Structure 1
Amino acid sequence: MKKKERQAILQKIVHEHLVHTQEELQDYLHEYGVRTTQATLSRDLRELKVTKMRDEYGKSRYIKLTTETQGDAEQRLQSALKTVTKSVDVVDFLVIIHTSPSYGNFLAAALDELRDTPPADILGTIAGHDTVVAFCKDGEQAQVVSDYLSTHI
């Protein structure tokens, strides 16, 4: 089976089913006649931008953050903000963003895609387990970034 066909089936599974583990994903793929290794499955998930997130019940499951805006970095950031952001604060030239547990790096990557793009103008980010620090040129720019991020939570 070709890669595009396998990935289309994988997207369909993630969209239609609550899948909590890669083993479950492989079981669903087998039902569609797709045999794959764990390494190939992991690579497909990365390429499709499918990630594991906690649902409203606190249980981790695979989801695709955006489907129709895959090429648009700003839309991906806005989707990520709505999905994983808890709060946004400003300290001088820093914007401190608290996320759901395990999503600091995920949100930082989305912010980094928009580096030097107004209104963000973020110089860089550092991420932890559930916190992102975005560095701005000055306190005024940090407030602009904070306001932008806060409107999309």
Structure 2
Amino acid sequence: MKHADKSERQAAILAIVRSAAVGRQGEIVARLRARGFDVTQASVSRDLRELGLVKAAGRYVRLTDLPPARGPLPPPGVIGVLRGAEPVGPHLVVVRTSPGHASTVAIELDQQGLSGLAGTIAGDDTIFVAVRGPAGRRRLLDLLRGWSEAAAATPAIRGGAR
């Protein structure tokens, strides 16, 4: 088996996912090994992430190759993990995520530069989002709704490259 450099391996991965409906990392590993590459599942996982490949409709595709969604496409770390949001006062919104994803979503919210968002505190599956009044709360809820609708409108997107 050859120890090809990273760019050769990644080019081979792109060729594999473009030529066949590959839905499991194990399949990609097997196809790379059949082409003579000495790879592990861990290296393939990193390559998929670096190449921007996600699962859509049960197969790996580049996020940029998917049809446009109805709203702004959510950041990859947010796709499929939002579980709801509830205003609990004029300055606080509680956002629910899948277990283990609250920190990722909180970071994405903080990086949006959303006017009226004061800050976030994340636990395991819950985020407290402080907003500066009703307008900030509305902008936050609109953003979260847009992310959810965009993810739902783009068939079977799943976060990460698992």
TM-score normalised by the chain length of structure 1: 0.58
Deviations 1:81-112 (A, max 9, x none): 56333322122333323334554444344334
1:44 lines up with 2:47 in the alignment = yes
User: RMSD value over aligned CA atoms?
Assistant: 3.9
Tell me if structure 1 keeps the 8 A contact 2:53–2:60: yes
Unaligned runs of 5+ in 1: none
Distance change (3 Å), C-alpha of 1:42 and 1:95: same
Deviations 1:61-98 (A, max 9, x none): 785683369xxxx7443x66563333221223333233
Alignment correspondent of 1:85: 82
- Structure 1 position 145, deviation (Å): 0.5
Alignment correspondent of 2:7: 4
| Count of residue correspondences | 136
CA distance in 1 between partners of 2:61 and 2:111 (Å): 18
Alignment correspondent of 2:63: 66
Distance change (3 Å), C-alpha of 1:83 and 1:132: same
Alignment correspondent of 2:119: 123
Aligned with residue 93 of structure 2, among 74, 81, 95:
95
Tell me if structure 1 keeps the 8 A contact 2:74–2:147: no
Q: Which has the larger radius of gyration?
A: 2
Percent identical: 26
Q: Which has the higher contact order (CA 8 A, sep 6+)?
A: 2
The residue type paired with residue 81 of structure 2 is V
CA distance in 1 between partners of 2:104 and 2:17 (Å): 19
Unaligned runs of 5+ in 2: 67-71, 149-162
1:17 lines up with 2:33 in the alignment = no
Tell me if structure 1 keeps the 8 A contact 2:22–2:59: no
Tell me if structure 1 keeps the 8 A contact 2:53–2:62: yes
- Structure 1 position 150, deviation (Å): 1.3
